[in-house]
Amino acid sequence: MNIKQIEEKIAQYEAKLQRKENYVARKGGKKVIKTKPIAGHLAKYYREEIAKLTNEKKYVEQKSQIHDVPWNQVYFEQNQIKVMFNSKYSLPFPFQPSRKSFEYIKPYLNRINLPPLEVTIRGREILKIDNLEYFSQVVEMLNFKTRIEGYLREGQPQSISTIISCLDTLSNKAIKELLSLQNKGQYLSHLCDIQASEFKIIPVPELFIYANSLKEEDTFIFTVENGDNVQLIWESVNFARATFVFNVDQKSYLDKLYTVFGYIISPERHKRTSLRELIPQTEAIKVIQHDNFEEWKLKITNV
């Protein structure tokens, strides 16, 4: 029990102890109903229970511990969470941004290898989440991922701009840290370094058909300034896949971003092949292979 539950139980026993019981007495040869405090074994039982609960309350008040809770032991509910520790779930902890739907994409959290949640627990009660700001950022990323899932698989009517707007509260620093981008190889690390600060790094799952089933890989859209234009750089964590660079005018940046994002998450077959076929027809699309890091860097700079 948590502190509040123990106090409520003590109050119930104290109320019972103060309750009067009726008994029949004789006065002037007549029977009258009188009351007296509860006594005997029942009163003794109530006092013993109050003493036990008081000791338990002191124990719970004094004993709090910080637990590192892995994400597969965080249980998301609507507007609250629970965590598992010592093979038991905690009491609910109010957290307004939490959604039950996050349960369906917890494998995504395991895949991006996040550090654990730091939770201070007393009894079964969560007193605080020590890295709450970090937790809030993870929840924002989950919200973004849930919107994508809804757009793709559940037919929810929402625009690409609505999905991307979920990232508005996340800084590029938070996105890089949450997704460990600078630890995913030198190519992604370099793109993090040259990312234009006024634009957002956009995580985008690349969907493709393989063996008649829908698969996905983690990819990202980076933005680099290039004079009056900007470059949308599409990079995958799978470095067997080439880098694609889209040159766009700053005025049409959002429209082009939404187009590229929507294309990447579409289940259309042979997307990369189709883009390659467009290259002879336009200067707006370039492709760079990961053959040599220094050559790749030079080409990124000179596109």
Instruction: Give the mean model confidence (pLDDT) for residues 19-36.
Output: 72
* Statement to judge: residues 275 and 239 lie in one domain: yes
Is 198 buried (19+), middle (13-18) or exposed (0-12) by CB count in 10 A?
exposed
Instruction: Give the mean model confidence (pLDDT) for residues 57-83.
Output: 85
**Does residue 45 carry a pLDDT above 80?**
yes
Q: Pick the more confident residue, 217 or 82.
A: 82
Lowest mean pLDDT among 62-71, 151-160, 198-207: 151-160
* Statement to judge: residues 255 and 213 lie in one domain: yes
pLDDT in tens, 229-253: 899 999 998 889 999 999 999 889 9
* Statement to judge: residues 175 and 298 lie in one domain: yes
* Statement to judge: residues 9 and 94 lie in one domain: no
| Residues in CB range of 223: below 8 A, 6 or more apart | 195, 196, 199, 200, 201, 230, 231, 232, 233, 253, 257
Report the pLDDT value the prediction gives residue 66, as an integer from 0 to 100. Answer: 85
pTM higher than the cut 0.75:
no
Write down which residue in 62, 78, 102 finishes a domain.
Answer: 62
Helix, strand, coil percent content, the chain, rounded in steps of 5? 45, 30, 25
Grade residue 192 by pLDDT with cuts at 50, 70 and 90: very high
Containing 215, the helix (H) or strand (E) segment is: strand 213-226
pLDDT in tens, 248-271: 998 899 999 999 998 998 878 888
Grade residue 155 by pLDDT with cuts at 50, 70 and 90: low
* Statement to judge: residues 208 and 288 lie in one domain: yes
Q: Pick the more confident residue, 253 or 178.
A: 253
**Does residue 302 carry a pLDDT above 70?**
yes
Tokens of 170: 């996340």
**Does residue 182 carry a pLDDT above 80?**
no
Grade residue 223 by pLDDT with cuts at 50, 70 and 90: very high
Q: Answer whether residue 165 is part of any domain.
A: no
Number of folded domains that form the chain: 3
* Statement to judge: residues 75 and 45 lie in one domain: no
One-letter amino acid for residue 111 of the chain:
R
Q: Answer whether residue 160 is part of any domain.
A: no
* Statement to judge: residues 224 and 282 lie in one domain: yes
Grade residue 153 by pLDDT with cuts at 50, 70 and 90: low
Report the pLDDT value the prediction gives residue 87, as an integer from 0 to 100. Answer: 82
* Statement to judge: residues 236 and 182 lie in one domain: yes
**Does residue 25 carry a pLDDT above 80?**
no
Q: Answer whether residue 157 is part of any domain.
A: no
* Statement to judge: residues 212 and 268 lie in one domain: yes
Report the pLDDT value the prediction gives residue 61, as an integer from 0 to 100. Answer: 65
Q: Answer whether residue 180 is part of any domain.
A: yes
**Does residue 288 carry a pLDDT above 90?**
yes
Give exposure, 58-78, as e/b (b: 16+ Cβ within 10 Å).
Answer: eebeeeeeebebebebbbbee
Q: What domain range includes position 85?
A: 65-138
What is the C-alpha to C-alpha distance for residues 219 and 242, in angstroms, rounded to an integer? 11
Grade residue 62 by pLDDT with cuts at 50, 70 and 90: low
User: How far is residue 19 from each of residues 24, 53, 54, 158, measured CA to CA in Å?
Assistant: 17, 20, 20, 60
Return the closest-CA partner of residue 194 out of 235, 160, 253, 140.
235
Residues above pLDDT 90, as percent of the chain: 28
Instruction: Give the mean model confidence (pLDDT) for residues 198-211.
Output: 86
Average pLDDT taken over every residue of the chain: 84
Lowest mean pLDDT among 140-149, 216-225, 285-294: 140-149
Report the pLDDT value the prediction gives residue 142, as an integer from 0 to 100. Answer: 83
**Does residue 32 carry a pLDDT above 70?**
no
